[in-house]
Amino acid sequence: MDSPSLQPLLLFVQSLISGILVGGVYALIGIGLTIIFGVMRIINFAHGDIMMIGMYLTFNLFTLAGVDPFVSIAVCIPVMFLFGGLLQKLFINRILNALPQNQILLTIGLGLIMSNTMMLIYTSDYKILTTDYSSSSFSLMGISISQPLAISFIITAVITAVLYWFLMKTDMGQAIRATAQDRQAAQLMGINVKRMSIIAFGLGAALAGTAGALISPTYYIFPQIGSTFTLKAFVITVLGGMGSVIGATLGGILIGIAESLGAVYISSGWKEVLVYVIFLLVLLFKPSGLLGKSRM
């Protein structure tokens, strides 16, 4: 990518495209966080750790049973959905009316438990999931595209489309959106808001776990990877507007592009600084986010 013979325009398009591809997965993590926030008004600080569990699940399926990481999504989605639902029922449900700071600390605590339990089981060694296509890429109009990133982007797009359909067209999706809009009014309309909360948290965990499965061929797998992605998920959701699914999709892709361009034009060490600077600027000047008015 940094060969000097590359034309400046080509370099730009190249990094733009790889940014969009990575951004797709970021969007998935962000959408999960935003659904949880929308329905329960809880900021889930364990979100990246839930994603990390998805990564280890995929890693185990691959090393023990030889399941391809992209096929393992079929296992990941239901397992992580149940895991998320269980977390909501056992822990989150009890603090729905607590002080916001206590809600934040509880999810931080849950995240610490998850990452340290994984560290006990798998040690803190970096694990690599190498498939035969992990480093392969194909060329499209002179732009080289990483194969695992391209596949994961397509899967992300399909999942996001199905999710939109679910939220917009199905009865349950509408019930979830109604709960997000006004919890009390939804309850008065006969919606089981407790059940919707469990489903929303399950959905968020499933999306995070899927994102973990999708990035496992391209990232190192280690127990502490979660906090980086939790922070990234916050940046994405705040950028798009807390509680907005379309906003989170847009935010994810924007952050992917910002990181990719930052790595090429500034330096890979400073690219994350750029992300947090954008985050603070958005918080200061447009705290409702880019699409803050719409909710889910």
CB atoms within 10 A of CB 42: 23
Q: Does the footprint of other proteins cover residue 279 (CB under 8 A)?
A: yes
State the number of binding residues for other proteins (CB under 8 A).
41
Residue 220 engages other proteins in binding (rule: CB under 8 A): no
**What minimum distance in Å lies between the beta carbon of 121 and other proteins?**
8
Please, which residue, 114 or 214, has the CB nearer to other proteins? 114
Binding span for other proteins by CB under 8 A among 18-26, 62-70, 97-105, 206-214: 97-105
Asked if 97 is part of the footprint of other proteins (rule: CB under 8 A), the reply reads: no
3-state SS class at 123: coil
265 binds other proteins (CB under 8 A): no
Taking CB under 8 A as the rule, does residue 231 contact other proteins?
A: yes
The yes or no reply on residue 71 touching other proteins (CB under 8 A) is: no
Token output for 295:
């909710």
Helices 73-90, 193-215: inter-axial angle, 10-degree rounding: 140
Q: Which of 227, 244, 249, 260 binds other proteins (CB under 8 A)?
A: 227
Structure tokens at 244: 């907005």
Residue 69: strand, helix, or coil: coil
Query: For the chain, what is the radius of gyration of the CA atoms?
Result: 19
| Per CB under 8 A, 264 contacts other proteins | no
Site membership for other proteins, residue 291 (CB under 8 A)? no
Q: Amino acid identity of 109?
A: G
- What is the rounded distance in angstroms from the CA atom of residue 155 to the CA atom of residue 286? 31
Nearest to 118 by CA among 71, 64, 69, 48: 48
Q: What are phi and psi of 266, to 5 degrees?
A: -110, -85
- Which backbone phi and psi does 66 adopt, to 5 degrees? 70, 25
Question: CA 83 to CA 117: how far, in whole Å?
Answer: 15
Out of 98, 158, 172, 189, the only residue in the binding site for other proteins (CB under 8 A) is 98
Cα three-residue angle 242-243-249, rounded to 5 degrees: 85
* Footprint of other proteins on 159-178 (CB under 8 A): none
> Which one, 79 or 119, has the nearer CB to other proteins?
119
Per CB under 8 A, 93 contacts other proteins = no
Query: 104 or 143: whose CB is closer to other proteins?
Result: 104
Give min distance, CB of 80 to other proteins, in A. Answer: 20
Q: Is 286 in the site for other proteins (CB under 8 A)?
A: no
- Contacting positions for other proteins (CB under 8 A): 43, 91, 94-95, 98-102, 104-106, 108-113, 116-117, 119-120, 123-124, 227, 231, 234-235, 238, 267, 269-270, 272-273, 276-277, 279-280, 283-284, 287
